[in-house]
Amino acid sequence: MNQLVLITGGAGFVGSHVADELLRQGYRVRVLDSLVEQVHGPGKHPPAYLSPDVELIVGDVADPAAVHRALQGVDAVYHLAAAVGVGQSMYEVAHYTTTNNLGTAVLMEALIQQPVERLVVASSMSVYGEGLYRTPDGRLVAGAERSRQQLMNHQWELRSAADAPLQPVPTPETKIPALASIYALSKYDQERVCLLLGQAYSIPTVALRFFNIYGPRQALSNPYTGVLAIFAARLLNDQPPLIFEDGYQQRDFVSVYDVARACRLALESPDAAGSVINVGSGINTTVRDIALQMSAVLGKEHIEPQITSEYRVGDIRHCYADISCAERLLGYHPQVDFKHGMADLAAWLEGQVVRDQVLVAKQQLAERGLTL
């Protein structure tokens, strides 16, 4: 196999693991990455974990010249480059729109001129807003939301119009999107632009909606990264994890190794073209339980999580993945159970030096009225 694959954002957490997965399978890998300071620190230095077998081009996905250079001779593209963070997206609107929306537009204009055999774009579970729910009488409710007054009263759970409790169920790709943040809006834009133009120009395209990814190489000093990395940053500095609401909100945590494998399968599976596919574990876990498990694996059981009883604008209550589509179209089955995934993450965390920026980020949200 001698296919050359480009990964935009490939020096980051997920992209570097996708690069490793592809290299193991005999692909050649090129990466286009701007090495932003919030993720990689100052100086635009390539991360030590990036394989030496990767051809790295330092450049911005919103720069047409850099994109055209990166696409030379490429057979397939993973578009992972994105600014990531629900809270931050609500005030750094131009940055998120430029990186995510404009960056995707620039890439797609280049692909119109230089088509590839397959395009895989990273979307997000954030496009769903709230997940899917079931009423006490068995009906599915897809458009449930919490009112501002309800949130201010700390009534966290969703209820029906008849004031009956709603039960979360696995969320399938057929659920109508409910875009609750600029980040969610930009990720939906990324997937739709890629799928629309992919169909128009005969570029087989797959959009993968990632759920909460965890594992080695997350940017621990970035307070807008995944919640597990944020909790680890606090605990490694002997500070309690901060949990919004009451901590019983449910999420789907999936190992980055499973995500990387799903990405490879999306490249290789003929039936996946033109599809939107959830990539998660299919298992729901509360944020409170995640914090306690992270404390345990780091040997910090004495540090109790701090429940803030605050709401962050753009957050949702429950959402976890129905992965039956990924099983059917990709042959994807999660292989890393949470216990072993956490142990692997803890081993990587040993010796990591982490700047705890969580309180700074929290203050930035509060100053803008984005927490209640």
Selection from 113, 112, 88 nearest residue 100 by Cα: 88
Whether residue 150 has pLDDT greater than 70: yes
With respect to residue 336, please indicate whether it lies within any of the assigned structural domains: yes
Number of Cβ atoms within 10 Å of the Cβ of 274: 12
How far, in Å, CA of 168 to CA of 129, rounded?
13
With respect to residue 151, please indicate whether it lies within any of the assigned structural domains: yes
Structural contact between residues 192 and 104, judged by C-beta atoms closer than 8 angstroms? no
**Tens digit of each residue's pLDDT (9 = 90 or more) over 236-283:** 888 899 999 999 999 999 999 999 999 999 999 999 999 999 999 999
Domain tally for the chain?
Answer: 1
At residue 38, the pLDDT reads 79
Confidence (pTM) = 0.92
With respect to residue 71, please indicate whether it lies within any of the assigned structural domains: yes
At residue 256, the pLDDT reads 97
How far, in Å, CA of 259 to CA of 270, rounded?
18
At residue 126, the pLDDT reads 94
At residue 368, the pLDDT reads 64
Question: With bands split at pLDDT 50, 70 and 90, how would you rate the model's confidence at 355?
Answer: low
Question: Which of 64-68, 82-86, 137-141, 300-304 shows the lowest mean pLDDT across its residues?
Answer: 82-86
How far, in Å, CA of 254 to CA of 227, rounded?
12
Question: So which residues are the catalytic ones?
Answer: 183
At residue 347, the pLDDT reads 84
Percent of all residues in the chain with a pLDDT value above 90, rounded to a whole number: 70
At residue 85, the pLDDT reads 81
> Mean per-residue pLDDT for 63-83?
97
At residue 223, the pLDDT reads 54
**Tens digit of each residue's pLDDT (9 = 90 or more) over 326-342:** 999 999 999 999 889 98
CATH number at residue 328: 3.40.50.720
- For the CA atoms of the chain, what is the radius of gyration? 20
With respect to residue 165, please indicate whether it lies within any of the assigned structural domains: yes
> Mean per-residue pLDDT for 173-198?
95
At residue 235, the pLDDT reads 87
> Mean per-residue pLDDT for 288-301?
91
**Tens digit of each residue's pLDDT (9 = 90 or more) over 34-54:** 998 778 877 788 999 999 999
Query: Hunting for tokens 């659920």 — which residue is that?
Result: 175
At residue 125, the pLDDT reads 95
With respect to residue 276, please indicate whether it lies within any of the assigned structural domains: yes
With respect to residue 372, please indicate whether it lies within any of the assigned structural domains: no
**What is the extent of the structural domain holding 17?**
4-367
How far, in Å, CA of 321 to CA of 329, rounded?
15
With respect to residue 198, please indicate whether it lies within any of the assigned structural domains: yes
Percent of all residues in the chain with a pLDDT value above 70, rounded to a whole number: 92
